[in-house]
Amino acid sequence: MSDAALAINPAADAAATVSAPAATFGAWPDRATICHPNSRGTGSAIRFELHPARGRTSGYLFVELARQKSLASQHGAVPSFATFDWANKIVVKMGINDLAQMLMVFRGMQESILDGKGLFHRSAKANAVIKFAHQIEPSPGYLFSASCKPFDGERKDGYFVFRPEEAVWFSSALDAMMGVLVFGVPSAAPEGAL
């Protein structure tokens, strides 16, 4: 993702121009990852990649899920951290309405997306089902799961459970993210424009 953002000329159908983000916002990350390794090797990781709206195109969020690949270990003074299988990750693209469904679960307006049916996505290469639900057992949190069936391959499934504290910061980030998914990254107005 580029650090530049598009600013639209107020004249109808005018060409978009590229300008740097406003100095008040500075550089900001477009990616976040949470990893939950465990001693059984059954952990998972989730990664988010933000793509703000540009011009007249709405933004979206890529969500990647990876299963734990190796266990953490300690050999002498050198620790070895758990790794995740990003090469065989599941990737889903979530738009504004998909993310609004997640926010409805976070806000307690519904327990799961579409009463547990989830969101069905069809692309040129695969079908995917995305589910998100509040859970109490076996541990409290929010379960995000995705399954992807390529037209020429085998189905892959992945999941990630947001712990309550992660749900707080991620739902707050998702709230703030909606503005850039709809309107893009705020940019400084050119001199003399105001």
Q: What share of the chain is helix, strand, coil (3-state, %, to 5)?
A: 20, 40, 40
Q: What pLDDT is attached to residue 41? A: 93
Burial 119-133 (b: 16+ CB within 10 A, else e): bebeeeebebbbbbb
Range among 10-14, 17-21, 24-28, 51-55 with highest mean pLDDT value: 51-55
DSSP letter for 87, please.
Answer: G
Summarize the confidence of residues 3-17 as an average pLDDT: 34
pTM summary value: 0.78
Q: What pLDDT is attached to residue 192? A: 54
Q: Are 49 and 30 in contact (CB under 8 A)?
A: yes
Summarize the confidence of residues 69-96 as an average pLDDT: 91
Q: Identify the weakest region by mean pLDDT among 19-23, 63-67, 69-73, 98-102.
A: 19-23
Spatial CB neighbours of 181, under 8 Å, sequence gap ≥ 6: 50, 52, 53, 58, 59, 60, 61, 95, 96, 99
Domain covering 30-68+79-183: architecture: Roll (2.30)
* pLDDT tens per residue across span 127-139: 999 999 999 998 8
Q: What pLDDT is attached to residue 9? A: 31
CB atoms within 10 A of CB 152: 6
